[in-house]
Chain A
Amino acid sequence: MSNSEPIIACSTATEGNAAIAVIRISGFKSLNDLSAFFSLNLNDIENNKVYQNNIIDQQGVKLDQILLCFFAAPNSYNGENILELYVHGNQLNVTRIIDLFVNSETCRAANPGEFTYRALRNKKLSLTQVEGLDLFLNASAPLMLQAGLETLQGELHAHFNQLHKLFLTFRSSFEVLFDFDQDVGEQNAKHTVQKAYDALLQHTEQLYQRTVGALSSYATPKIVLSGPPNAGKSTLFNHILGVDRSIVSKISGTTRDYVSEPIYIGKTPFMLVDTAGIRSTSEELEAEGITRSREQVAGAFFNILVVDLQSDYLNDDEIVNNSDFDLFVFTHLDRVFSEDLDSYLWPHSVESLCTSLVLPRVEYTGPIGPVKINLGPIGPNSKTGSIGPAVNQSGPIEPEEIVGGPIGPKIAPLEQLVQFINQRVERKYQTLMESHPILLPRHRRSIALIYDQLKSIGQLLDSGERDISIISIDIELLASQLSEFIGIIPPEDLLTDIFDNFCIGK
């Protein structure tokens, strides 16, 4: 992929017929090299202007009437001479035209991503931008589109450059300790190092914050229903989907493996997952199902715990505290006298539940029956939807705010619960988008590594390690990681990794 001979490919979709297809030729020395295939003279055409022309084959037979546009090097997408042909989008026609150039050995068929590879090579795009482009072109969710576009437009690249700059400042201030502290005074020199370190750490921390909390599978974010057996997960699942997909029965342990279905909430595609009830079991098949349930919970974007109020499950602090549940749905309230409701909720030390609560909880009576929704911070009389403050509330929510006194007779239909869940999911997704998470796995890995390395350097600085030449080794390591991260060290294997994902013609 490293040579620069002329290449050709169709840059629009290559399946099915369309009105127009765009064929791109890149890397030719002069338009003269291509003139044999056009009926009208190419010598007079100006850059960046569209002209009508005809494609002719070697016998002079007209193949297609087309529009073309010439982008002269270096002011083109990839810095090379590029000729774009807007041809009729019949696949047979497209293939015939490409074959014409390839068979005459005027051009070679481009490899996937080769146009962009050349843009990277000619410094038209940074490595980060290429990665952003990859993300953008392959996006299956709004978050990916957003992150891809921002990255492509250089938002991250600018941050990474800043990171590099701050690092160089830090490193040179550190070097002063060795060579010039006589000139500037040791206290001064140390103060400068600390200032430079703090600035670098702060910037790294900001980047790091954008890598935590983002989803593990941003391409298809999952909404996972979990909880003890026979709590009504499958019932809720079918309701959210609007079809009977999961088998519902009164026998606990009905769902043996997780069931998932794609759904749209707003404009975002999600995967809704119904899991096997989690309990201790000796049965091998069920145990396997439970393992899978836990995996689903761990990889979820939105976790809903569905639980029978009378269930022992709520007493299991490990389960309740260790998972980041976004929503609690209490079921089978019909089995409890309403005046006893408080006594069921309170003993479960609502406070300890709250530590793992990100969003207010929902109480729901069911399985199918009427729904009672308590909107946490708002109190008993609120309706669904009009939800109060801070969705991303960290720290424990005050208990009285959650249960909000006696639970009134306000009854909402099941549909309202579904709507409520949808809103919550949408809101969380929106919040996530607003936090501009860094999605690319390579970036996330590198930033975490750099952040760790920087913190360990900070510890050495704080510890009063006197042999500063030892600290300088860690700084060298950081330099190495940073250089690889921002593409100063060409990431050999990575290049193929990235460009493998590209489609031909990009």
Chain B
Amino acid sequence: MVQREFDIAVVGGGHAGVEAAYIAAQFDLSVAIITDPSVVISSTPCNPAIGGVGKGQVVREIDALGGLMGKLADLSAIQCRTLNESKGYAVQSTRFQVDKEAYSKNAIDQLSEIDSIRLVSARVVKVNRLKTAGFLLELDDNSDLQVKSLILATGTFSRGITHLGDLVDSGGRFADFSSPSLGQLFPEVKLKTVRFKTGTPPRVASPGVDLKGAIEQKSDSSSLNFHYAHNPSDRFMGQVSCYKLETNSRTLDIIRDNRERSPLFNGQIEGIGPRYCPSIEDKAYRYPEKNIHNVFLEPEGIDGKTFYPNGLSTSLPAEVQRDFISSISGLAQAKIAHYGYAVEYDVIETTQLKPTLEHKDVAALFFAGQINGTSGYEEAAGQGIVAGINAALKVLGRPEFTVDRVRSYIGVMIDDLVTAAKDEPYRLFTARAENRLFIREDNVINRIGPCRLRLELDLPVDNYIKGFLEQYELLFGCIKSYQLSVTRDKGLISSYKIVGNCDGLRLSEAIRQSDLDIIPFLAGFFLSKGIEVARPVVRALAISIKYEGYIKRSERAKGRLEQLGVKKINWQILIEAENISFECKQRIQREKPQTFLQLQRINGIRPATLAYVAGLL
């Protein structure tokens, strides 16, 4: 029997696993990524897009921590957009449509450049805890692998079952294999699991798709790349468009007529699906009066062979899928390349984890990604990097690493995961953050850079962060103190409309004026002074100054409510309390809130209950 030793093993080569391995290797540790030979590294089995509202911030946070996702997304981008562009900088997010094959290939290329990462094509059969420390992994190729830290990032494969109409098959993805249950993998460790489900739409082959009536969404050349070292507007692949279509009453009628054949609604699927990414069946049955739903046709690759029809996730039988797809104007003649399906899988109860994503009772065992009940590539990668860093720090005997929820979406997500059990797949969005005015894309280096520097790795990204922060601090002070002068700054003042008397007006005050295009304005200012400033620094400066006052106001607005929000509550006591209504108790039991804020956010909790609980604090 062959036995090999690694510092860290990562089980699963998806977005969480790859990110974990990539960062761990930066600590000069040996890392094995163990994946089934049939599974593609960094595949995008669902929507071929990276980023989105809240998620774009996560990709930039990963990048600032020295991660890989931003780089891969830039290299593979075929359509770029800035979401919420007109709604203010705080909620703007970047979203790149990627070429699926290129994304995966780029990932393999990046990983193979790193000597200390080894790809192991095998399945893990059993995990034994070693008496000393670490784990012994038994693989299906009859080899053993001894590691000090172990990261499980097996996605939807744990006891995965796919549903396509009444076609039920075991597998983490369609026509794929399924991993054994965690209980089988870890006979010695008791892991609490829950059953979740998610789904994906049918893919449409492009021949036969008629785009004449569709609304075209072109790639936006002004969207900014994710990776710090890339020129913000460089594109590495050709750019294509997405198209917006609509469902109609016939589409919805077909779906409604086949309600009994939907595994989601006839009881075949027991797992709980994501409320925030509903299947078309969900939409059809929950909103019987609504027949028009958006469908975004997103190309899956630069070759344009297939489209991902975003909004049509389904597990209905194949012929029903064919019927409702062809009912959509523009898709009448379209062929289906792959059918949509739903997958049910085991996830662990994340309240068993520490904020480092290490298991509370099993040292050096980490969990990341969809196995933790999240949905989305970015969420997975965000956990992967935190788990990877901590797995490495564990091996090195260094202190734990966490990111705060007040400064990052990664922090928000992990805090949400480890403090309250989830009963549906967890997706990030801006409402989950208390201070979204601060957790923006533009200031990611300010927010996350210092966290990265704490790792003391001294790689190119660290130099970039140091340079950025240095320049930022210096110029921030200048902008605060500089007063415009009608004579000295004549050119600048005449090119931008500044309200009121400009003479003596502080530059920071001018930036706060609402209708000023602040980024070109500030760039123009620096240019007029002959100071050369990198674009991302100008952007971060301008937006930070604009929001400074609002952030303070927002903190004041929350005031005592916020102070109360962070207080811990004991939900077990609440469900025993005599003074809380049965209905509220049910909801508390389901959501298991750990803080007052979480309790407040539960739908249907009565003010009287909140007042009662607040009174106990």
Contacts and interface: CB of A to CB of B under 8 A. Distances in A.
A467 B607 contact: no
B294 A178 contact: no
Most buried by B among A79, A182, A488: A488
A206 to B, nearest CB: 18
Interface in A448-506: 466-470, 472-474, 476-477, 479-480, 483-484, 486-490
A338 interface: no
Nearest to B552: A473
Most buried by A among B84, B89, B554, B561: B561
A175 interface: yes
A468 B431 contact: no
A470 B553 CA distance: 10
Contacts of A74: 578-579
Contacts of B114: none
A476 B554 contact: yes
Given A74-B579, A489-B614, A164 B607 contact: yes
Contacts of B430: 175, 178-179
B87 A466 contact: yes
A490 B429 contact: no
A477 B558 CA distance: 6
Nearest to A164: B607
A185 B276 contact: no
Given A175-B431, A470-B88, A484-B560, A122 B579 contact: yes
B467 interface: no
Nearest to B551: A473
Contact of B611 (A126, A182, A474, A480): A126
Contacts of B614: 488-490
A126 to B, nearest CB: 6
Contacts of B436: 178, 469, 472
A476 B580 CA distance: 26
Contact of A473 (B84, B554, B579): B554
Contact of B557 (A122, A126, A180, A476): A476
Interface in B425-472: 429-431, 436-437
B561 A489 contact: yes
A211 to B, nearest CB: 20
A490 B615 contact: yes
Contacts of B553: 473
B368 to A, nearest CB: 24
Interface residues of A, number: 39
A123 interface: yes
B294 A470 contact: no
Contact of A486 (B54, B296, B564, B607): B607
B267 interface: no
Contact of A178 (B429, B557, B606): B429
A100 to B, nearest CB: 31
A161 B607 contact: yes
A185 B244 CA distance: 11
B191 interface: no
Interface in A48-65: none
A160 B608 CA distance: 10
B213 interface: no
Contacts of A121: 615
Nearest to B558: A476
Nearest to B578: A74
A45 to B, nearest CB: 22
Nearest to B428: A179
A466 B579 contact: no
Contact of A123 (B83, B91, B600, B608): B608
Contacts of A182: 53, 83, 294, 296
Given A470-B88, A479-B561, A178 B608 contact: no
A434 interface: no
Contacts of A477: 557
Contacts of B607: 160-161, 164, 486-488
A77 to B, nearest CB: 14
Interface in B235-286: 276
Interface in B594-617: 600, 606-612, 614-615
A127 B84 CA distance: 41
B379 to A, nearest CB: 14
Given A79-B578, A466-B86, A488 B550 contact: no
A162 to B, nearest CB: 10
B559 interface: yes
B22 to A, nearest CB: 29
A479 B600 CA distance: 11
B603 to A, nearest CB: 8
A178 B84 CA distance: 7
Contacts of A486: 607, 611
B91 A480 contact: no
Contacts of B88: 466-470
Most buried by B among A180, A468, A473: A473
Nearest to B613: A488
A132 to B, nearest CB: 15
A122 to B, nearest CB: 6
Nearest to B560: A489
B90 interface: yes
A178 B431 contact: yes
B87 A468 contact: yes
A120 B614 CA distance: 12
Contacts of A120: 615
A177 interface: yes
A473 B611 contact: no
A123 B580 CA distance: 8
A365 to B, nearest CB: 59
B294 A179 contact: no
B311 interface: yes
A183 interface: yes
Contacts of A489: 560-561, 564, 614
A469 B87 contact: yes
A447 B564 CA distance: 22
Contact of B561 (A183, A467, A483): A483
A484 B557 CA distance: 12
A183 B290 CA distance: 13
A346 to B, nearest CB: 52
B57 to A, nearest CB: 12
Nearest to B292: A185
Contacts of B611: 123, 126-127, 486-488, 490
Given A185-B294, A484-B560, A161 B608 contact: yes
Nearest to B614: A490
A183 B296 CA distance: 10
Interface in B515-555: 550, 553-554
Contacts of A164: 607
Contacts of A183: 294, 311
Interface in B48-106: 53-54, 83-84, 86-91
Contact of B560 (A469, A470, A480): A480
A489 B88 CA distance: 31
Contacts of B87: 177-178, 466-469
Interface in B363-377: none
Contact of A480 (B429, B514, B559, B579): B559
A489 B609 CA distance: 12
Nearest to B608: A126
Contacts of B606: 161
B275 to A, nearest CB: 11
A152 B554 CA distance: 35
A469 B437 contact: yes
Given A178-B84, A469-B437, 6 more contacts: A74-B578, A79-B579, A179-B54, A180-B276, A466-B86, A486-B611
24 contacts: A74-B578, A121-B615, A122-B579, A124-B579, A161-B606, A178-B87, A179-B429, A179-B431, A180-B276, A180-B429, A182-B83, A183-B311, A466-B86, A467-B88, A468-B91, A469-B89, A469-B550, A470-B550, A477-B557, A487-B607, A488-B607, A489-B561, A489-B564, A490-B615
The 4 closest A-B pairs by CB, nearest first: A467-B88, A179-B429, A123-B579, A477-B557
